[in-house]
Structure 1
Amino acid sequence: MRIALGIEYNGSEFRGWQTQPGGGTVQDSLETALTQIAGMPIGVVCAGRTDAGVHAIGQVVHFDAPVARPLTAWVRGANTFLPPAVAVHWAQPVSDDFHARFSATARHYRYLLLNRPQRPGIEHGRIGWYHHPLDIERMQQAATQIVGEHDFSAFRAAECQAKTPIRTIYAAQVRRYGELFIFDFEANAFLQHMVRNLVGSLVFIGQGKQSIDWMLELLATKNRRLAAPTFAADGLYLVGVRYDACWGIPGMKGSMAEMMPAWIGA
């Protein structure tokens, strides 16, 4: 039986999603816990591989269960064996042709940025930081320019292994809650470091270092070296993954404005 899981994790505690020699990744931890429940090795596939330090509150994975277990075993049982920084939210049987990555139609990433002279303390590791004042209206206008299908070569990591840099962004928003700036991006898929590179360039525009039309210029050049530096992983969250209703996967609930980690308090 193929099982889908919804999980969350604090990326500060891991070396990224994908398994590595020596362990220390989210995938390693999850597979170890599920193996304890099944009594035999389990391998999982995720909807979006996150880098070291990147968090998730709506990651989706699937695996093929070699033995029958109650769904509660894949949730409460697995959580018993997982480290504190990762937890399973739900488990659901799916058809054998469901694939956590290839069946997804959209992914939603959010970047949380603290904008004040002092670095974060209590939110350390869970939020990005920029000390110069930022203009929200300039960033909002610039964000609208990347919506649609584009070649995002200017915003991909040098080591990105994607076969094509073409991606379609369905929505891009920048909002402000006091000292907190919230960047939301929903797309069919993302390139490695793409969101963090988009945020970095939008911040340059917000500070006045570049014009509002700079995002369009970067898209046209397709040159990563001309864009802003990659922003820190701390503030990046995989918020949710969207699937067609036929799969019966719990969807990305609510609008972007409503999907807020509870600890923010806004």
Structure 2
Amino acid sequence: MALRNRKTGGRDPIADHEAELLEYINARDDDLVNYAKYFAHSKMALRSKVVEIDSDGFTLQYADRTSDNSIAMKEVRVPFDERTETKEGVLRKLASLAKEAKSSLDLDKKVSKAYVAPTLDNLPRVENTLSTTHIAMTCGMWIVGLLGAFAPTLPEPFQTYRDENGGQVTLERIVMGVCAVHTAECALVIAASIYGSFSFIDVVKSLINTMVFGIGMLGLVVKTATTRKEMIDQAKEVAARKAAAKKSQK
């Protein structure tokens, strides 16, 4: 019985009403289970009851199934957001806390059904989403460039066109320059792949695509890496919170 207040040490203002309040709250089984699940983070609360209530909150006792499948009695203190010195005020607080617990648990159920926690299997992967026109034009330019730079002779009128535009040496320098730029971009792809925890296959595909398509593919790789990193960090944060909640129950 909460004849004395936990915080002040003096006689609690609602001590005379505690028995009545305990009878009221312990008659609401659904609320008691929700209290245990929400405030104590218990997933396997088998039964619960309020054993003490005062103007600052109440103490909930519940039976929980442990990791070794045994039953353990635990307690959690559920505080009110502000001191309440009347029976009516406590009843309002209890109703408010019951509503908060139920709403949050219902929301968690909806989220858990719709949300799939990030894993290495469902993280986004790099996809070449460049337009067909872009891909066709880029491949065409590479074919023309490579033939112009390294073919000893070309059929007319391509041979004349090459000679009039700097010759084979000039085209070779242009192609090598583009390759150098794309190689530098590949270095950035490797950095982004490490940042986004890409698989080996995705790294290889990203390097090949970047070597061919250059800055357009690099942008896609960086965007995907950033998204993957955010999802991985979020998954770690959720796991840490769950571990902390489980640890606090022991």
* TM tier, smaller: under 0.3
Structure with larger RCO (C-alpha < 8 A, sep 6+): 1
TM-score (norm 2): 0.24
User: Which structure: greater helix fraction?
Assistant: 2
